[in-house]
Amino acid sequence: MQQVVNGILVVNTETIPGKVITETMGVVSGSTVRAKNVGKDIFAGLKNIVGGELTQYTELLQESRNEAVGRMVADAMSIGATAVVNVRFATSAITAGAAELFAYGTAVKYE
């Protein structure tokens, strides 16, 4: 169970179920741009001909999303928050091999 990332609670609901928010501390965000190596890009291109899931890119986006969430949590920690609520994600493809992942939410204190 990983409900707590580095001591900070992360949820995408407006309130924390079962807890009371005492103070809001503004928007925190984290973003990352990652790419796979050329070999995996070529393999994904080959896989694309026959269709189906492109596992290399699934992996890539999973890793970068975790990294973006980690940066957002670090941002929240630096201003002394204890939780991040209402988390949203945005994705944009820069080139076919690289993607920008952006996570943002509201830093709060709860009791």
Partner 1 sequence: MKTSVANFRSFSILVIMAFVTFSLNVVAQGGAVEDEGFPLVLIFLLPFILLSLFGVVWMILWPAMFVWGAVFSGAKVERMHEEANQRRDSLSKRMGREILNSIDGGYRTDVSSAGLVHANGVFGPSHWHLMIGFVNNLIGGSVTVFQQVISAGRAEVMQRLREQAEEDGWDEVINVRIDTASMTPQSSNTRNTVRGVEIFAYGTGIKYE
The CA–CA distances, whole Å, from 26 to 58, 97, 98 equal: 31, 33, 30
Of residues 13, 20, 39, 80, which one binds partner 1 by CB under 8 A? 13
CB closer to partner 1 out of 24 and 62: 62
- How does strand 8-10 pair with strand 4-5? antiparallel
Answer yes or no whether residue 14 interacts with partner 1 by CB under 8 A: yes
| CA atoms within 13 Å, Cβ hemisphere of 84 | 27
CB atoms within 10 A of CB 109: 13
Tell the smallest beta-carbon distance from residue 80 to partner 1 (Å): 20
Answer yes or no whether residue 20 interacts with partner 1 by CB under 8 A: no
| DSSP symbol at 87 | E
Of residues 22, 37, 78, 91, which one binds partner 1 by CB under 8 A? 91
- For partner 1, the binding residues in 29-88 under the rule CB under 8 A are 41-42, 44-54, 57-58, 61-62, 65, 69, 87
| CA atoms within 13 Å, Cβ hemisphere of 44 | 18
Binding region for partner 1 (CB under 8 A): 1-5, 9-19, 41-42, 44-54, 57-58, 61-62, 65, 69, 87, 89, 91-97, 99
